[in-house]
Structure 1
Amino acid sequence: MDSQSSCVVVTGFGPFRQHLVNSSWEAVKELSKLGLGSDTEVELRTLELPVDYREVKQRVTRIWEDLQPQLAVHVGLDAAAKAIVLEQCGKNRGYRDADIRGFRPDGGVCLPEGPEVIASGVSMKTISRRVAVEGVEVAFSRDAGRYVCDYTYYLSLHHGNGCSALIHVPPLSRWLPASLLGKALQVIIQEMLEEGRKPELKASFAENSISVTPAKGNQLGDCSFRENSVFQSCVQSFTVL
């Protein structure tokens, strides 16, 4: 990945099942109007992804090969969520639900030779504790649900050496309109970039980076954390803003 990149890619998803309006893409559209703030020299690129495993695999690969972002943030809808949820891990197996075209990955696997779990170089727990958006609760999770969102995240973490994030947002409501979700995304991504560019926090990022180990039994819901130099490129790229 090009450590000199000044591009941040943010994606949302299109309609699926009964969700004819996907709050994730509505929130990303609002973010595109707001930008990432005048104090950051980062180009914001936004993209709508279909809820389609095969198409997602192609588009995520192109994001990392063509745009080489310093950070890719994928936003998905969690219909049961009451808060915005920052996801720490992407999982390789367990993709049994069909996408909008009725397709399921062979064997329920994202990458047949890939590790069971990949975690972001961003500490989602730290970010969730630091951000504050009036009227919005922000939480973190280590299980992104094994659907196209999680599938996208795993691929992006794989291609981006951990320089990726997944944010689940609730459905739109009177209390959580797209404008508020877009503002929340702006604040969260600003915090991710701010965390990465503080020299004193490099050690913290390194500590929260992980190597991945095969999952056993019910461990798929957990991330096994230990220091791994492969994620140092993520820390380095965050510092160039």
Structure 2
Amino acid sequence: MVQNPEQRSVLLTGFGPFPGVPKNPSMALVEDLADAFRDTLGITLHKRILSTEWNTVRYEAPALLDAIRPDIVIHFGLCRGANAIRIERSAYNQASRLEDAANILPPSPAILPGGTPRLDTPLSTAHLARGLRLAGIPALPSLSAGRYLCNYLYYLSLDWAAKQSPVRSHPPLVLFVHIPPARGDGGYLEPAEIARGAAAILSDILQAPRLAAHHAVPASHAA
């Protein structure tokens, strides 16, 4: 495990079920990842499973970030069409008119009316994906987290992080990771491979928290 004398706060999140996905694998992934890193020196670990609902993400996610004030945030979600771990570069200020787990539509087409059209993570998605591939885990950098609640959460978190710049010497690092369905649920990767990939991403960020951004390749549709 990583050992770092500088204490940092880490927030890991996953999503609950949503239409067509009665059991979201990001829930168990976050629980297992939190357990694996719980005794890691140098970090204070927080985890939260968010309901896949527009209003939950709209109100609870910013409140959670303000309460914890994490240094590192990694959100996990499921991309049903993926066959590799997708490390997301960008979030867009757009919300698709799709129903959430409560059968409710998003409150508006824009996540933050008047907000920046696109926000990018400062982390190098290309570097992180390459590290997974070198470890034998299928992974790709991606340009878009879709327009569903994954993108909604990512945009709000990146916006929150950007607003910390004037008051914190090191603005928080935020990343969204889409995991593919596991083998047995229509996917190609074993659950252990996905878990190993998630752990490698967190370890990489903890070891080199100021990775510069690189270019990514286009993503397939993610929800």
Coarse TM-score class (shorter-chain normalised)? 0.7 to 0.9
In structure 2, give the amino acid aligned to 1:28.
Answer: V
CA contact (8 A) 1:29 1:182 kept: no
How many Å separate the matches in 1 of 2:51 and 2:107?
19
Structure 2 residue matching 1:75: 3-state secondary structure: strand
CA contact (8 A) 1:6 1:41 kept: yes
Residue 195 of structure 1: aligned partner: 208
How many Å separate the matches in 2 of 1:69 and 1:181?
24
How many Å separate the matches in 1 of 2:79 and 2:116?
25
In structure 2, give the amino acid aligned to 1:195.
Answer: A
How many Å separate the matches in 1 of 2:134 and 2:46?
23
TM-score by length of 1: 0.75
- Identity among equivalent pairs (%): 25
CA contact (8 A) 2:83 2:189 kept: no
CA contact (8 A) 1:11 1:74 kept: yes
- Cα displacement (A) at 1:85: 0.4
Residue 27 of structure 2: aligned partner: 25
Deviations 1:121-166 (A, max 9, x none): 1111121112357552111101111000010000000011262100
CA contact (8 A) 1:90 1:154 kept: yes
- Cα displacement (A) at 1:27: 1.3
Deviations 1:175-229 (A, max 9, x none): 5344432222111111122222xxxxx5x63xx39xxxxxxxxxxx89xxxxxxx
- Normalized per residue, the structure richer in helix is 1
What is the number of residues matched between the two proteins? Answer: 199
1:165 is the counterpart of 2:175 = yes
TM-score by length of 2: 0.80
How many Å separate the matches in 1 of 2:77 and 2:92?
15
- Cα displacement (A) at 1:81: 0.5
Structure 1 gaps of 5+ residues are 197-201, 210-220, 223-241
Structure 2 residue matching 1:69: 3-state secondary structure: coil
How many Å separate the matches in 2 of 1:81 and 1:104?
24
CA contact (8 A) 2:77 2:179 kept: yes
How many Å separate the matches in 1 of 2:7 and 2:158?
17
